[in-house]
């Protein structure tokens, strides 16, 4: 796998995100620039200019353009089926998703709404502190913004309704704001078909909140990680998610009611744990394959005194079920700050501290590989 090297940033990357179709890749960095690229050849399509500080986060919607589609969810295929006179399935209709709006969050204390096609800034929300993570809801009707706890401001997660018909006419006030009482939230995501918001925190804890009023729904008593949770990405079907942490581990969690060993009902259940050598900055679930990809490395301030191998800048693949490392791919000349898996499982992209985006496309041997034997059961 020889990567496509994308050079469009002058400083460290902060996040990389594919759109739902996987044909576009959005990247942001500490140089105030947001870029969009064609993922198959690395052509830069354009930039979104307007922030005056580090752009920490970016996310793109996936509103369906199909009149008969029930729902188009980012990274997921939701299909309508038809039958003739109650008979067997005769037709499968797949929705097509259109990337219409982009949201970004920055150290200039602003969240901006953009027109993906034209690059026009449609609306700007202002906050007391930096916006560290933004995310579209699964129905693309709302956006969450995680703000930093700093300078006496508590920080939290603000949820805004998006006026898609008049994108320049948005409400400045959020529908509600989640205010964690303990450790500050570092990342957050929508889950359970927008029924919940899951937040990950600096002290390694996880919480689940309802999306009607922003009230705490489930508090995971034991810490999910022993270090800062650096990333949280949902699975393609939205029923589980992966977290990465500075404690050198990534973990998969399921969302939904489950009885624990004591017979108590809980809604965040630890499923798998993957332990490596470096502190992790990001992890993603590879669609269509039983793998989790993760990356990180030694802190950027110490990179100049460390070689690439000693710094653990490689990207690691773990088997999702057996929790074993199956391969490593050479990274950049510094830590990997963000990883995104192609929504169709064709490859992945990483954003590095060295300012480069590396787009990897899986070759034929990847799809043919069966490290744990054939997937189909043996037939006598």
pLDDT tens digits, one per residue of 251-273: 999 999 888 777 788 899 999 99
Here the tokens at position 102 are 């982009």
Supply the pTM of this predicted model: 0.88
Percent above pLDDT 70 for the chain: 86
pLDDT tens digits, one per residue of 343-358: 999 999 999 999 999 9
Alpha helices in 151-288 (DSSP H): none
179 pLDDT more than 80: yes
4 pLDDT more than 80: yes
pLDDT reported for residue 93: 38
- Of the pLDDT bands very low, low, confident and very high (cuts 50, 70, 90), residue 79 is very low
| Cβ atoms of 159 and 174 closer than 8 Å | yes
Give the strand order in the sheet containing 110-115.
55-60, 101-106, 110-115, 121-126
Percent above pLDDT 90 for the chain: 71
Here the tokens at position 289 are 């394959």
- Of the pLDDT bands very low, low, confident and very high (cuts 50, 70, 90), residue 63 is confident
Give residue limits of the domains in the chain. Answer: 4-75+94-368
The SS3 call for residue 134 is strand
Long-range contacts of 206-212 (CB under 8 A, 24+ apart): 206/243, 206/253, 206/268, 207/180, 208/255, 208/267, 208/268, 209/157, 209/178, 211/137, 211/142, 211/159
| Cβ atoms of 132 and 111 closer than 8 Å | no
pLDDT tens digits, one per residue of 15-53: 999 999 999 999 999 999 999 999 999 999 999 999 999
- Of the pLDDT bands very low, low, confident and very high (cuts 50, 70, 90), residue 301 is low
Looking at the domain covering 4-75+94-368, what would its CATH class be? mainly beta
* Cα–Cα distance measured from residue 300 to residue 12, given in angstroms and rounded to the nearest whole number: 10
pLDDT reported for residue 364: 84
| Cβ atoms of 318 and 305 closer than 8 Å | no
Q: Which of 80, 75, 187, 94 is nearest to 140 (CA)?
A: 75
- Of the pLDDT bands very low, low, confident and very high (cuts 50, 70, 90), residue 65 is very low
Average pLDDT, the chain: 87
pLDDT tens digits, one per residue of 270-298: 999 999 889 999 999 999 999 999 999 87
Weakest-pLDDT range from 54-58, 215-219, 235-239, 306-310: 306-310
pLDDT reported for residue 310: 55
Here the tokens at position 204 are 């390694």
| Cβ atoms of 274 and 251 closer than 8 Å | yes
| Cβ atoms of 21 and 42 closer than 8 Å | no
* Cα–Cα distance measured from residue 41 to residue 23, given in angstroms and rounded to the nearest whole number: 10
Distance of CA 131 to the CA centre of its chain: 15
| Cβ atoms of 285 and 345 closer than 8 Å | no
- Of the pLDDT bands very low, low, confident and very high (cuts 50, 70, 90), residue 222 is confident
pLDDT tens digits, one per residue of 324-347: 999 999 877 799 999 999 999 999
CA triple 244-109-159, angle to 5 deg: 65
């Amino acid at each position: 796998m020889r990567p496509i090297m994308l050079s469009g940033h002058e400083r460290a990357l902060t996040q990389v995100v594919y759109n739902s179709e996987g044909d576009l890749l959005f990247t942001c960095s500490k140089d105030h620039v947001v870029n969009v690229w064609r993922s198959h050849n690395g052509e830069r399509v354009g930039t979104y200019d307007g922030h005056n500080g580090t752009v920490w986060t970016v996310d793109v919607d996936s509103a369906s353009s199909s009149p008969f589609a029930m729902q188009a969810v980012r990274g997921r295929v939701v299909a309508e089926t038809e039958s003739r006179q109650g008979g067997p399935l005769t037709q499968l209709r797949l929705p097509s998703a259109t990337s219409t709006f982009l949201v970004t969050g920055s150290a200039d204390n602003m969240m901006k709404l953009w027109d993906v096609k034209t690059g026009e800034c449609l609306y700007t929300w202002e906050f007391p502190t930096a916006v560290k993570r933004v995310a579209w809801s699964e129905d693309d009707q709302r956006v969450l913004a995680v703000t930093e706890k700093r300078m006496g401001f508590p920080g939290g997660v603000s949820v805004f309704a998006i006026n898609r018909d008049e994108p320049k006419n948005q409400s400045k006030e959020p529908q509600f704001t989640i205010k964690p009482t303990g450790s500050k939230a570092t990342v957050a995501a929508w889950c359970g078909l927008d029924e919940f918001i899951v937040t990950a925190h600096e002290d390694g804890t996880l919480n689940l909140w309802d999306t009607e009023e922003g009230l705490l729904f489930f508090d995971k008593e034991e810490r999910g990680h022993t270090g800062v949770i650096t990333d949280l990405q949902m699975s393609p079907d939205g029923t589980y998610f992966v977290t990465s942490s500075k404690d050198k581990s990534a973990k998969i969690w399921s969302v939904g009611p489950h009885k624990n060993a004591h017979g108590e009902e809980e809604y965040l259940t630890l499923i798998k744990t993957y332990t490596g050598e470096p502190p992790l900055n990001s992890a993603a679930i590879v669609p269509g394959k039983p793998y989790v990809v993760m990356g990180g490395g030694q802190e950027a301030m110490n990179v100049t005194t460390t070689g690439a191998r000693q710094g653990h800048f490689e990207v690691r693949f773990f088997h999702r079920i057996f929790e074993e490392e199956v391969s490593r791919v050479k990274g950049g000349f510094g830590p990997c700050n963000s990883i995104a898996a192609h929504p169709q499982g064709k490859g992945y992209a990483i954003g590095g501290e060295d300012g480069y985006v590396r787009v990897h496309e899986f070759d034929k041997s990847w799809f043919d590989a069966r490290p744990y034997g054939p997937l189909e059961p043996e037939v006598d």
